[in-house]
Amino acid sequence: MSDAFSPILQGILLILAAPALTGWIGWLKARMQGRRRSWLYIFQPYLNLVTLFRTPATHPQTASWVFAAAPWILFASYAWLTFIIPVFCKPLLAVDFIVVIYVLGFGHFALSLAGWDAGSAFGNLGGSRVTFFHFLTEIGLILFFAALALRWGTINLKEIFDQHASILQNLVRIDLETFSLNFGVFFLVIPLFLIILFEMGRLPIDSPDTHMELTMTYKAVLLEFSGRDLALIKWAEMVKTMFLFSLFSNLFLPFHHPPSVAVTPLFIGELLSLGCLLVGWEIRQARSRIQQTPGFAWITLLFSLLSMLLTLAIKRNLQP
């Protein structure tokens, strides 16, 4: 397999496998709640997408071309992110984390704009909440990646992935000085996990399984879409879940690094384990009011700042 084709195939496989990851999360949640589900339920998202793709899309009479273009922009933005993740080979693109923040923001902006362009009450509600939630997430992402850049002296994601893998590989023979420098990195596990909850709509105030107005964030915008447009948006959200899980895996569970075909099962196991962690946390959390949402963002900012301050303090003490 050529060096040019392998990274492209890797990104395409992540896009195609994204619905299976979402199906695994849904199946596991049902089983942990005591509901009967066949293991074939894992493939239910594929059937749902096929059904939606076979249904023509309808647009509100008041909507413009922005509404029609939003699903394609959202899917293209999130699908692009899968080509910067290493699994069984090096990624196709070596980008800075600033680009990742902008791409995620562009997808949220397109979805919010589509909700407002629809001109309905649900669309305006969903667009406003998507913008508010992304505002909280974006601040956390900036500080999260800033803490990583402060520790490793780079903003390139590929180099950061390599540095995190080196921590795991040298864990046995690590010295006290290196351990002290890397200790602040582990403070970033909680911020990234909370950012994943924000992006997946799985905070205690939001329920991804219902369509009640009081529990909806971006799903209020989805009520305006149908058919192929809705399929693209749902698939895009699944791809984003795959990217976020892969990002967490490459940063804090880099057992499959360096990438090769032989360690691909380890990567799959990491994704399934993260799904178990997500479902276990979700089913044990009581619902709260939307006014309490900034509290989760404050936790993200706090741990990111603690990691930055700890790294600065340790570097200053280690200087001769």
Encode pLDDT of 257-282 as tens digits: 777 777 788 888 899 999 899 888 88
Q: How far is CA 62 from CA 65, 71, 116, 227, in A?
A: 10, 17, 11, 18
Per-residue pLDDT, 1 = 47
Instruction: Name the residue with higher pLDDT: 157 or 214.
Output: 157
H helix runs in 153-255, sequence order = 157-169, 176-183, 189-200, 219-222, 227-252
Instruction: Tell me what the mean pLDDT of segment 222-229 comes to.
Output: 85
Among 204, 186, 203, which Cα is nearest to 195's? 203
81-127 pLDDT, tens digit per residue, is 999 988 888 887 778 888 998 898 888 888 888 888 877 777 777 77
Give Cβ neighbours of residue 17 (< 8 Å, ≥ 6 apart). 242
- Contact (Cβ atoms closer than 8 angstroms) between residue 87 and residue 194: no
Name the strand (E) or helix (H) holding 145: helix 121-152
Higher pLDDT, 190 or 219: 190
Q: What b-and-e string marks burial along 201-233, b requiring 16 or more CB atoms within 10 Å of the CB?
A: bbbbbbbbeeeeeebbbbbbbbbbbebbbbbbb
Give the pLDDT confidence of 116-161 residue by residue, as tens digits.
887 777 777 777 777 777 788 888 888 888 888 888 888 888 888 8
Residues with Cβ within 8 Å of 156's Cβ and at least 6 positions away in sequence, in order, are: 94, 95, 96
Residue 43: per-residue pLDDT: 92
Q: Are 43 and 23 in contact (CB under 8 A)?
A: yes
User: In the structure encoding, which two tokens stand for residue 114, read together?
Assistant: 């589509």
Q: Could you tell me the pTM of the whole model?
A: 0.89
- For residues 103 and 155, what is the distance between their CA atoms, to the nearest angstrom? 16
List pLDDT tens digits, range 25-64. 989 988 888 888 888 889 999 999 999 999 988 888 888 8
- Residue 3's contacts (CB-CB under 8 Å, 6 or more residues apart) are none
pLDDT in tens, 237-246: 999 999 999 9
pLDDT, position 13 = 93
Number of H helices and E strands in the chain, helices first, is: 12, 0
Counting other chains too, the contacts that 167-176 makes at CB distance below 8 Å and 24 or more residues apart are: 168/254, 168/255, 168/257
d(CA 205, CA 186): 27
Place of tokens 């699908």: 79
Which is nearest to 190 in space by CA: 266, 136, 250, 252? 252
More confident residue, 116 or 176: 116
pLDDT band at 205 (very low <50, low <70, confident <90, very high): low
Q: How confident is the model at residue 179 (pLDDT cuts 50, 70, 90)?
A: low
Mean pLDDT for the stretch of residues 153-182? 70
Owner of token pair 């971006």? 218
Distances in Å between the alpha carbon of 28 and those of 37, 204, 292?
9, 18, 27
Tokens 């249904």 sit at which residue? 55
Per cent of the chain over pLDDT 90 is 20
Mean pLDDT of the chain: 81
